[in-house]
Amino acid sequence: MEVTVPVSGGGPGFIAGIFGFFGSLINFLFTLAFFIAAGFLLNLIISKLFFRKLISDHLNKDNKVFLLVKVARSSEQKEPAFDEFLRAVHRILPSGTVFSLELASTNQFLSFYIVVPSVYKNAIESQLYAQYPNAEVEAVKDYLPPLETAAFAEIDFKHFSINPIITYYSLKEDILKSFSSLLSKTQPGEQVFFQIVLKRVGSHFWQRGFQALLVKHETPATIKMSQDLYMGKARVIFVAKDKSLAQINLNTVINIFKIAKSPNNELKRKRFKIFPAPILSFKARVFDSGDLWSSSEIATLFHFPYQGSIVSNVVESTTKRAPAPDILPFQGLVNPKDVSFFGETNYRNEKRIFGIKRIDRRRHLYVVGKTGSGKSKLLELLLISDILSGAGCGLLDPHGDLAEEMLKFVPKERIKDVVYINPSDKDYPIGFNPLEPVTDYESRQHLSTFFIAIFKKLFAASWNQRMEHLIRYITLALLETPDSNVMGIPRILSDTSFRQRVIMQIKDPVVKGFWTNEFSASAEQYSKEAVVPIMNKVGQFIANPIVRNMIGQMNNSLNFAKFMDEGKIVLMNISKGKLGDENAALLGALFITKIQQAALERARIPEDERRDFYFYVDEFQNFATEAFSYILSEARKYHLDLTIAHQYIAQLPEDVKATAFGNVGSLISFAVGGDDAAY
């Protein structure tokens, strides 16, 4: 703009020229001010629009990881530990890297999060573990709920942020303690979220840039500027039933930050003027303009709970974790055929699949734990491992659910290997005859011993020597008789003609002598002390049509020796709900008896030709007879690898308990009671 200044002196023209000059100058200044204001406003609008785009970009990107950090309240790491963590992060992160420290209160429980770019997840975790060795760090999904009825505030420094607020060095009260005390009084459904979004800035740049502004002697500002610095923004959200209530409660939360007031600076609530996008900026974890924060200032406002800092209702670490031993057989380091994989370690977010060596399973596996603690799931995982590896396995399931579930995991190539035994199947009952004739003398003696153990457990306190004597000779007689089965037990005691036919088939002179001499001479005494109780027990068993359909058959379709040698998948569903407790226990014990017999028959096969068969017994206490003690001590050499599971040790008889702990090579314990924990 050109302005002409009159040079002639005096007269109306001169005065008019002066007025014209000043008018032009004022017009120029107004025009300049307008363009400056318009430029400033345009710059502000553009910056806010760019910020909107930045928010949108970050919301649409899936490049952040949310780390839930759990630290025990008994931790001894106080604010200096988190300060050191921030200084370490400052050293390893590139300038401009943004991350967020967040505290969430949901249902009056405090949770601590660190949100970082995915590429720096491992670096952040390693620095956390360096300061908090016993912390638990878990990658989770974004925890923020819908925020329709939320009140939002940003917290700024009141004065230029080179001037510090008070820090934990001189602060007598823990801000976290005050924060948690307030949040413990929130109503159901109310939630509070606190966030400090930080951007790592180069200390060299800031320290040099502000040195000229600072006096040469030490002041609070010079001390702050000598620390590791971040550019950051603090935010608070309060969620309530409606926004007005949320706003009232938000003001109460903001007042907590007044504790950080120093003679040089304090924190205040920021007032939004244009394009604030507050909720979205919280979700995106970004900011457009922030304050300078030192690591000690950040650690004052955000740190993990520690001993002496009374913070109630914190999502915390309740146990200590240790790294998995190197001797564990990890997937990828061993031949998968040599290991039954069933678990996964999780130490400091490093997850590795491991299992138990199959050679160790020959010494048997004992599993104990309360109901619902995970025993059945463990059995399922081990069974799946056996099935997929092509191994032979068997399951005795007194509930039925696990046996049915396992059918889903059988691959197509092994469908023909499945033997599914379901006594409650009335349409197609499988023939099972535990008393099918046995020609071998030793096998008859073993079976007789197993039957005595079964009945001894059934009769419990009413058991006597005459019962044991009588059952021994009943089983020995029927095992020599063609076409005999369990139905013959009551018949040999009550039907004289049937008993005579059996006696005619007996070749063992001792057994034959018992029935022709001893029993006939003492029939009345036997009847009183043994016959009636046995008739009642067995009669109750065979009176059940479901059971009778199965054990009442002369032929035996269940050749367990063949199943074991050929590596079949044998699933025995003896559901208590369908059979009754006693019937399920007796039938299960009979299955075990035949499996024991099949294992002992392997003595005729060279050991290197014996194929491993993995046999699982759930609710082991129902079948824990004296005979089972024998198989626990002898099964290893016959490659019958047992896995037994039950709830607590007191369920087992003393002799079985002693044998189990004396012969079981591996033990897995879930949650147990006080007595078992001290065992």
pLDDT reading at 274 higher than 50: no
Confidence of residue 276 (pLDDT cuts 50, 70, 90): very low
pLDDT reading at 583 higher than 80: yes
Contacts of 529 (CB under 8 A, 6+ apart): 464, 466, 467
pLDDT, tens digit, 9 for 90 and up, residues 63-100? 889 999 998 877 888 899 999 999 999 999 988 889 99
Distance CA 640, CA 618 (A): 16
Contacts of 136 (CB under 8 A, 6+ apart): 69, 70, 71, 317, 321
pLDDT reading at 672 higher than 90: no
616: nearest Cα among 383, 454, 456: 383
Distance CA 13, CA 119 (A): 76
Residue-level length of the chain: 679
Distance CA 166, CA 177 (A): 16
pLDDT reading at 7 higher than 60: no
Note whether 221 and 122 are within 8 A (CB).
no
Distance CA 258, CA 175 (A): 10
Q: What is the pLDDT of residue 63?
A: 81
Distance CA 647, CA 669 (A): 10
Confidence of residue 217 (pLDDT cuts 50, 70, 90): low
Two structure tokens written together for 367: 């599993």
pLDDT reading at 52 higher than 50: yes
Coil, strand or helix at 220: helix
pLDDT, tens digit, 9 for 90 and up, residues 296-306? 999 999 999 88
Amino acid code (one letter) for 514: F
Q: What is the pLDDT of residue 44?
A: 55
Note whether 280 and 59 are within 8 A (CB).
yes
pLDDT reading at 347 higher than 50: yes
In the predicted model, what is the mean pLDDT of the chain? 84
Contacts of 193 (CB under 8 A, 6+ apart): 102, 103, 104, 105, 144, 236, 237, 239, 282
Q: What is the pLDDT of residue 394?
A: 95
Using CB atoms within 10 Å of the CB of residue 361, give its burial: 0 to 12 exposed, 13 to 18 middle, 19+ buried: buried
Using CB atoms within 10 Å of the CB of residue 198, give its burial: 0 to 12 exposed, 13 to 18 middle, 19+ buried: buried
DSSP string, 298-350: HHHHS----TTS---SB----S---PPPTTS-BBTTB-GGGEEEEEEEEETTE
> Which of 31-35, 42-46, 81-85, 489-493 is least confident?
42-46
> Which of 139-148, 198-207, 595-604 is least confident?
198-207
540: nearest Cα among 470, 505, 587: 587
**Domains and their CATH numbers in the chain:** 64-301 (3.40.462), 362-430+558-679 (3.40.50.300), 439-531 (no CATH)
Determine if residue 639 is left, alpha or beta; phi over 0 gives left, psi from -120 to 50 gives alpha, anything else beta: left
Average pLDDT over residues 288-292: 85
pLDDT reading at 10 higher than 60: no
Instruction: Write down the residue that tokens 């396995």 correspond to.
Output: 393
Using CB atoms within 10 Å of the CB of residue 543, give its burial: 0 to 12 exposed, 13 to 18 middle, 19+ buried: exposed
Q: What is the pLDDT of residue 56?
A: 56
pLDDT, tens digit, 9 for 90 and up, residues 619-639? 888 888 777 777 888 888 899
Distance CA 635, CA 325 (A): 29
Q: Which residue has the higher pLDDT, 49 or 654?
A: 654
Q: What is the pLDDT of residue 234?
A: 93
Two structure tokens written together for 666: 């591996």
Q: What is the pLDDT of residue 641?
A: 93
pTM (2 d.p.): 0.71
Q: What is the pLDDT of residue 96?
A: 84
Distance CA 429, CA 488 (A): 19
pLDDT reading at 500 higher than 70: yes
| Beta bridge partners of residue 392, listed in sequence order | 613
Q: What is the pLDDT of residue 616?
A: 95
Instruction: Write down the residue that tokens 């420094």 correspond to.
Output: 157
